[in-house]
Amino acid sequence: MRMKKTCVYAVVLLLLIMITGCPAFWKSADATLKELFYNGVEVPEFSAKKTSYSIVLPAGTTEPPTVTAIPAVEGVNIVIADAETLPGTATVLVTSLNGKESLTYSIFFTVKVVISITADPPNGGEFSGDGEYIYGDLVTIMATPSIHHTFNGWYLDEPEETSFEESGDDPIYTEPVASFQALKDVSLMVGFNPMQYTFNLVPVPPEGGEVAGGGVVDYGDSLNLSALTNEGYGFAGWWIDGYMFSDQAV
């Protein structure tokens, strides 16, 4: 009796080994992919056992990629759902031939965002924060006025405008340091104002003649000075803080 039971167990075990060891059995239960592509490009570091991926698309990409797949076993059922927006997720559902196994591969697509900055005037100061970001990243921009300049504001840089004053728009940020999320390509212009200086002209001695051309001027602007001497006096030069900067009357 014990011998018969042993024989039965041995036969059952042999049958199981034969069935499960058969290539056709394994193929019918295989729901993996052999290759995975987006817009004809192979998904980086693809592995049949890895089902989740994240891909950063180049800046300026607006249309979600088209996903294609090649199964490990020909004839399995594949259902592909492309991403509808960017960022967005595409899925590939693979169902085995026997219908008992399934795997879902997912690809999350996001895009690079470009933040461009120019300064007006170019010598008005320095800035940081421009460059490439991934959608949703936190962008921090910072402006530092150069000597003889003050910070004015951050403006949207329109292609047809050459200066922030020309736009007539209000600044979108009024502080030198500002932060925002990178949700789309943005061109910014940081405005700087030249400091103003007052030049008071005084003839010495007062009865020596008349002077003109003083007043309030922006840093970097030119002064048109003129001196008219009275009879008996000669022009000796233009002086500031004990330093003569010109010996020309005009």
Cα separation of 42 and 181, whole Å? Answer: 30
Return the CATH fold of 29-111: Immunoglobulin-like (2.60.40)
Q: Concatenate the DSSP letters of all residues of 93-133 into one string.
A: EEE-TTSS-EEEEEEEEEEEEEEEEEEESGGGEEEE--EEE
What is the 8-class DSSP label of residue 173? Answer: B
Cα separation of 213 and 200, whole Å? Answer: 9
Taking only the tens place, the pLDDT of each residue in 19-76 is 444 455 568 899 999 999 999 999 999 999 999 999 999 999 999 999 999 999 999 9
Structure confidence at residue 26 (pLDDT)? 62
- E strand or H helix that includes residue 91: strand 88-95
Q: What is the pTM of this model?
A: 0.71
Q: 92, 104 in Cβ contact below 8 A? A: yes
Ranges of residues in the chain whose predicted pLDDT is under 50: 1-22, 162, 164
Q: 143, 153 in Cβ contact below 8 A? A: no
Structure confidence at residue 45 (pLDDT)? 96
User: Residue 158 contacts by C-beta under 8 Å, 6 or more apart in sequence?
Assistant: 167
Cα separation of 101 and 29, whole Å? Answer: 6
Structure confidence at residue 24 (pLDDT)? 59
Structure confidence at residue 46 (pLDDT)? 97
